[in-house]
């Protein structure tokens, strides 16, 4: 906003933007913090596993862009990420890597998470298909209603109390006293509940 828009000021504006927003240290700190703060998985459904995998991939790629030795961080990254797995995924990971003599790599971990994601997606889609196929036929339903005689709470005649001539002949304070004496709902005048 301090520069006039013109061809002459383009390079100055570009350099100003780069100086302002291309703070390599801040960007790296942001991605490392995001890796450390990836949320723990509590439910190993396909969507959660994919979100977990995508977050790891996104932040590692961003750090690789700055030519950091991400490929040398396997042990550290796995110590951060493995505890974030739910118990079922962790059990599968341990079964997967139990026979490995060497320490697993972050690439193997990401491939494992992606594989679990695909397996879970396949299972979930089959369950969805089976649930939509097995629909029980709807049973016919019938509605029973009863006609209950309405007796006025005040005069015991065959009308609702809101139509009662005795109630309507009273002034406001008289009506209020009748409602309180009969313990009627102050909202709907029912004797079945009070408000």
SS3 142: coil
Within this chain, do residues 78 and 129 fall inside the same structural domain, yes or no?
yes
- Return d(Cα 117, Cα 38) in angstroms, integer: 17
Within this chain, do residues 68 and 117 fall inside the same structural domain, yes or no?
yes
pLDDT of residue 67: 93
What confidence tens digit (pLDDT) does each residue in 9-62 have?
888 888 888 877 878 899 999 999 999 999 999 998 999 999 999 999 999 999
Two tokens, residue 158: 């065959």
Q: Is residue 36 part of a domain?
A: yes
Within this chain, do residues 96 and 120 fall inside the same structural domain, yes or no?
yes
Low-confidence stretches of the chain (pLDDT < 50) are none
pLDDT of residue 56: 97
Q: How far is CA 88 from CA 41, 49, 122, 133, in A?
A: 10, 12, 17, 29
Query: Looking at the 3D structure of the chain, how many domains does it have?
Result: 2
Q: How far is CA 100 from CA 89, 95, 154, 162, in A?
A: 18, 10, 86, 83
Note down the domain range covering 171. 145-195
Other beta carbons within 10 Å of 118: 13
pLDDT of residue 143: 57
**For 167-187, b where at least 16 C-beta lie within 10 A, e where not — what string?**
beeeeeeeeeebbeeeebeee
pLDDT of residue 145: 55
pLDDT of residue 169: 87
pLDDT of residue 153: 83
Q: Is residue 140 part of a domain?
A: no
Q: Is residue 2 part of a domain?
A: no
Q: Is residue 1 part of a domain?
A: no
Within this chain, do residues 42 and 62 fall inside the same structural domain, yes or no?
yes
pLDDT of residue 130: 63
């Amino acid at each position: 906003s301090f520069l006039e828009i013109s061809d002459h000021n383009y390079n100055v504006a570009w350099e100003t933007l780069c100086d302002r927003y291309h703070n390599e240290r801040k960007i790296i700190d942001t991605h490392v913090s995001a890796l450390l703060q990836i949320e723990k998985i509590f439910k190993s459904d396909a969507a959660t596993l994919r979100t977990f995998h995508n977050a790891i991939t996104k932040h590692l790629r961003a750090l690789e862009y700055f030519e950091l030795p991400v490929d040398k961080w396997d042990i550290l990254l796995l110590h951060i990420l493995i505890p974030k797995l739910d118990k079922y995924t962790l059990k599968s990971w341990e079964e997967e890597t139990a026979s490995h003599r060497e320490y697993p790599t972050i690439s193997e971990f990401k491939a494992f998470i992606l594989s679990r994601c695909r397996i879970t997606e396949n299972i979930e889609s089959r369950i969805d298909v089976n649930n939509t196929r097995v629909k029980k036929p709807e049973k016919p339903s019938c509605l029973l209603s009863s006609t209950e005689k309405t007796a006025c709470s005040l005069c015991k005649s065959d009308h609702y109390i809101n139509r009662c001539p005795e109630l309507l002949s009273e002034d406001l304070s008289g009506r209020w006293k009748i409602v309180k004496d009969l313990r009627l709902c102050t909202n709907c005048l029912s004797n079945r509940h009070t408000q």
